[in-house]
Chains A and B, each alone.
Chain A
Amino acid sequence: DTAVSQTPKYLVTQMGNDKSIKCEQNLGHDTMYWYKQDSKKFLKIMFSYNNKELIINETVPNRFSPKSPDKAHLNLHINSLELGDSAVYFCASSQRDSWNGGEQFFGPGTRLTVL
């Protein structure tokens, strides 16, 4: 069974559109994350979220918003897409209080291309 899954794997869209990327984890973890990996391959945290708090990287535009319908899901909504949003987006999860210090499990990524 896939631990962290994302859909879609590829997303091609026009500038100005609104899109969502879905993420689900079946590990029973209490914290989920969204990362952006740009063309230079740097991974940057966008959000971390558990049922108690949402932490937002202050550099993330407010066009990006996480939505968590339940503990196993953290979706990423993007409004008014821009060319610079093209990147690979990774979802991850961890168990904050786990004995191993909260190792993060990553999904396979969603490659977003904005035309």
Chain B
Amino acid sequence: DAKTTQPTSMDCAEGRAANLPCNHSTISGNEYVYWYRQIHSQGPQYIIHGLKNNETNEMASLIITEDRKSSTLILPHATLRDTAVYYCIVRVAWSNYQLIWGAGTKLIIKP
């Protein structure tokens, strides 16, 4: 799996959009970008994933650059409950290949 790099930490004001960047410059053509988050002391939670098109669901939006070397996770209206560590992972979907986790970005939402 390709490696990803993310900022160690970020702050965002409550109610504003939180934009979390991720670099994956060595991503392969069949690798998807996945985002998970882990709220303190809980199990990781799936957020969204995509291949090359932008994706949106009830939790977030995922913007993938045209060259697929980077992506941004957008939480449109961050709340205090969005404070968590956010992990960007790339992997081949529908494979038995395990997720390989980096250090993630610690996102702190401030009132």
How many CB-defined contacts (below 8 Å) exist between A and B? Answer: 56
Cβ–Cβ contact B99 & A45, under 8 A: yes
Contact string against A for B residues 36-64, beta-carbon threshold 8 Å, 1 for contact and 0 otherwise:
10000111111001000000000000000
Cβ–Cβ contact A106 & B43, under 8 A: yes
Cβ–Cβ contact A108 & B96, under 8 A: no
| Total count of chain B residues near the partner, CB < 8 A | 23
The CA-CA distance from A14 to B36 in the complex, in Å, is 34
Q: Among A31, A43, A44, A100, find the residue whose CB has the most chain B CB atoms closer than 10 A.
A: A43
| 20 sampled A-B residue pairs with Cβ under 8 A | A31-B96, A41-B85, A42-B102, A42-B103, A43-B99, A50-B96, A55-B98, A57-B98, A90-B44, A92-B43, A96-B96, A101-B32, A101-B93, A102-B95, A103-B34, A103-B46, A104-B46, A106-B43, A106-B45, A108-B43
